[in-house]
Structure 1
Amino acid sequence: MLVLGIESSCDETGVAVVEATGPGVPVLRAHALHSQVDMHQAYGGVVPELASRDHIRRVLPLAQDVLARSGCALPDIDVVAYTRGPGLAGALLVGAGVACALGAALGKPVLGVHHLEGHLLSPFLSRDPPEFPFVALLVSGGHTQLMQVDGVGRYALLGETIDDAAGEAFDKSAKLLGLGYPGGPALSRLAEQGDPEAFKLPRPLLHSGDLDFSFAGLKTAVLTQAKKLGDGLEARKADLAAATEAAIVDVLVRKSLAALDASGLQRIVVAGGVGANRRLRAQLDAACGRRGVRVHYPELALCTDNGAMIAMAAAMRLQAGVQEAQPLYAFDVKPRWPLQELAAA
Structure 2
Amino acid sequence: MSITLLAIESSCDDTSAAVMRDGILLSNVTASQAVHEMYGGVVPELASRAHQQNIVPVVDAALKQANIEKSELSAIAVTLGPGLMGSLLVGVSFAKGLAASLGIPLIDVNHLHGHILAHFIQTPDDKKEVPPYPFLCLLVSGGNSQIVKVNSHNNFEVLGQTIDDAAGEAIDKCSKVMGLGYPGGPIIDRMARQGNPRAFSFAKPNLPGYDYSFSGLKTSFLYFLRDKVAENPNFIENNKNDLAASLEATIIEILMKKLKKAAQDIGIKHVALAGGVSANSALRKAFQDMEDKGVWKIYIPKFSYTTDNAAMIAMSGHYRYLDGEFCSLDKPAFSRTVF
TM superposition score category, shorter chain reference:
over 0.9
Q: Give the C-alpha shift of residue 2 in structure 1.
A: 0.7
Which deviations, in whole Å up to 9, do the C-alpha atoms of 1:206-247 show, x marking residues without a partner?
xx4411111111111111221222112210111111100000
Larger deviation, residues 330-339 vs 48-57? 330-339
Alignment check: 8 A CA contact 1:9 1:87 kept = yes
Give the corresponding residue for 2:221. 222
Counterpart CA distance in 2 for 1:184 and 1:300 is 13
Q: Give the C-alpha shift of residue 140 in structure 1.
A: 1.8
Change (3 A) 1:216 1:54: same
Give the corresponding residue for 1:14. 16
Alignment size in residue pairs: 328
**1:1-345 alignment runs, 5 A limit:** 1-20=3-22, 26-36=23-33, 38-125=34-121, 127-205=128-206, 208-230=207-229, 231=233, 232-319=235-322, 321=323, 323-325=324-326, 328-339=328-339
Counterpart CA distance in 2 for 1:270 and 1:98 is 31
Counterpart CA distance in 2 for 1:233 and 1:89 is 36
Alignment root-mean-square deviation, CA = 1.3
Counterpart CA distance in 1 for 2:319 and 2:301 is 16
Alignment check: 8 A CA contact 1:13 1:55 kept = yes
Which deviations, in whole Å up to 9, do the C-alpha atoms of 1:294-343 show, x marking residues without a partner?
11122101100011111110102222x2x4225x422310111321xxxx
Larger deviation, residues 62-71 vs 121-130? 121-130
| Secondary structure of 1:295's aligned partner | strand
Deviating beyond 4 angstroms after TM superposition, the runs of 4 or more aligned structure 1 residues are none
Equivalent residue letter for 1:157:
V
| Secondary structure of 1:338's aligned partner | coil
Equivalent residue letter for 1:213:
Y
Equivalent residue letter for 1:119:
H
Which deviations, in whole Å up to 9, do the C-alpha atoms of 1:111-156 show, x marking residues without a partner?
1110101101111126332221100111021100001110012111
Alignment check: 8 A CA contact 2:114 2:313 kept = yes
Counterpart CA distance in 2 for 1:288 and 1:248 is 20
Counterpart CA distance in 1 for 2:70 and 2:264 is 47
Alignment check: 8 A CA contact 2:185 2:280 kept = no
| Secondary structure of 1:42's aligned partner | helix
Alignment check: 8 A CA contact 1:96 1:331 kept = no
Alignment check: 8 A CA contact 2:107 2:320 kept = no
| Secondary structure of 2:194's aligned partner | coil
Counterpart CA distance in 1 for 2:85 and 2:208 is 36
Which deviations, in whole Å up to 9, do the C-alpha atoms of 1:80-102 show, x marking residues without a partner?
01110001111111111100111
Counterpart CA distance in 1 for 2:208 and 2:95 is 44
Q: Give the C-alpha shift of residue 186 in structure 1.
A: 1.1
Equivalent residue letter for 1:228:
D
Q: Please give the TM-score of this superposition, normalised by the length of structure 2.
A: 0.94
Q: Please give the TM-score of this superposition, normalised by the length of structure 1.
A: 0.92
Counterpart CA distance in 2 for 1:297 and 1:284 is 8
Alignment check: 8 A CA contact 1:125 1:299 kept = no
Which deviations, in whole Å up to 9, do the C-alpha atoms of 1:174-222 show, x marking residues without a partner?
01111111112211111111111111222222xx441111111111111
Alignment check: 8 A CA contact 1:82 1:112 kept = yes
Counterpart CA distance in 2 for 1:190 and 1:131 is 36
Alignment check: 8 A CA contact 2:144 2:166 kept = yes
Counterpart CA distance in 1 for 2:67 and 2:119 is 24
Change (3 A) 1:331 1:209: closer
- In structure 2, list runs of 5 or more residues that go unmatched: 123-127
Equivalent residue letter for 1:181:
Y
Counterpart CA distance in 1 for 2:9 and 2:176 is 27
Alignment check: 8 A CA contact 1:81 1:111 kept = yes
